[in-house]
């Protein structure tokens, strides 16, 4: 009889332990084997995981971290900015309950002075008909450990220019006439300001900091659009075309052109 009760007790203990594990939330960061060696530092891939069966949450967000930077204190600041931008930019949009999310990243530019990272992925919410696509970015001045803001790179005249100085990154985001098939704000005659007309409506931040990225020779704009157009549109323009609109007082341009 004692043996029988011992078996029952062991079974119940195992069941309780399993239940606690199943209902608990697993939130951790781990470094995965993906290292890029650059001049002055290396880039490691970090994996943020948030699994909570009780809330129906299954989230994985990959983001880069720099290492072996010449300024250890600034390295920590930069890494926190990148991590918070990768995670906050998604969590800021609303509840993560009953959601499956996967976000990956691409380093668009990594020099001694600048790092620009674009995040892209999808989310699916239980009961939803389709996946939602997500595209956002973070750009950091490594000289001071601060985010680069679009308004600091260009004069206000950038916004009054028409988006025909930009090209569409993906051909499938054009219709047969080569224009954006998404209302007036997305037409080829729209100004840059009109492309971003919904920005402050949806996001309270008054400056553009997560909707553009920088490459070696181009500026990329990320514009929210309709699901039919893939949720986001991307526009590219060379710095050469944008030369007259550049804010020359910003020292960052010394490292870009």
Distance CA 67, CA 14 (A): 42
pLDDT, mean of residues 157-186? 55
Distance CA 193, CA 191 (A): 5
Tens-place pLDDT, residues 5-23: 444 444 444 443 334 334 4
Residues for the chain: how many in total? Answer: 257
pLDDT at 140: 96
Distance CA 83, CA 62 (A): 9
Are 69 and 136 spatial neighbours (Cβ–Cβ below 8 Å)? no
pTM for the model: 0.77
Per DSSP, the three-state class of 96 is: coil
- pLDDT of 110 > 90? The answer is yes
Distance CA 238, CA 217 (A): 6
Instruction: Map out the domains of the chain with their CATH numbers.
Output: 23-147 (3.30.565), 149-257 (no CATH)
Question: φ, ψ for residue 216 (rounded to 5)?
Answer: -65, -30
Percentage of residues in the chain having pLDDT higher than 70:
63
């Amino acid at each position: 009889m004692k043996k029988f009760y011992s078996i029952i007790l062991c079974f119940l203990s195992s069941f309780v332990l399993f239940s606690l594990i199943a209902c608990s939330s697993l939130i951790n960061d781990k470094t995965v084997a993906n290292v890029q060696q650059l001049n002055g530092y290396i880039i490691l891939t970090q994996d943020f995981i948030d699994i909570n069966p009780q809330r129906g949450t299954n989230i994985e967000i990959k983001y880069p971290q720099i290492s072996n930077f010449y300024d250890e204190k600034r390295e920590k600041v930069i890494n926190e900015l990148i991590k918070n931008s990768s995670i906050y930019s998604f969590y800021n949009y609303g509840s993560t309950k009953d959601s499956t999310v996967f976000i990956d990243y691409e380093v668009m530019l990594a020099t001694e002075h600048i790092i620009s990272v674009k995040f892209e992925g999808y989310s699916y919410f239980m009961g939803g008909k389709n996946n939602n696509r997500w595209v956002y970015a973070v750009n950091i001045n490594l000289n001071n450990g601060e985010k680069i803001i679009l308004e600091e790179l260009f004069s206000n005249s950038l916004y009054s220019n028409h988006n025909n100085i930009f090209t569409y990154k993906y051909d499938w985001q054009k219709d047969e006439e080569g224009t954006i098939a998404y209302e007036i704000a997305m037409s080829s005659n729209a100004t840059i300001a009109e492309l971003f007309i919904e920005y402050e409506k949806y996001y309270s931040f008054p400056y553009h900091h997560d909707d553009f990225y920088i490459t070696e020779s181009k500026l990329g704009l990320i514009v929210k659009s309709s699901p039919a157009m893939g949720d986001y549109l991307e526009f590219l323009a060379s710095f050469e075309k944008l030369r007259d609109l550049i804010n020359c007082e910003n020292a960052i341009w010394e490292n870009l052109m």
